């Protein structure tokens, strides 16, 4: 089954991350089949100063 890589800005609480990975796992199993135990999710937390969109750092917002 899949390994899902997610990039997020820093600052989410552990509770938010738990709810997110549960929802993504459920959606993956419902859509692709398999078991929840076969779904891996990696969360990469990124500082706003390390992410830019349209030539502008998100930390400059």
| Contact (CB, 8 A) for 48 and 57 | yes
Choosing from 1, 2, 21, 28, the catalytic residue is 2
Establish whether 14 is a catalytic residue. Answer: no
Active-site residues: which are they? 2
């Amino acid at each position: 089954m899949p390994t899902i890589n997610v990039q997020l800005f820093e600052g989410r609480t552990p509770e938010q991350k738990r709810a997110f990975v549960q929802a993504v796992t459920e959606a993956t199993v419902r859509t692709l089949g398999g078991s929840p135990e076969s779904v891996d999710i990696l969360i990469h937390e990124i500082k706003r100063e390390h992410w830019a969109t349209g030539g502008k750092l998100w930390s400059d917002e």
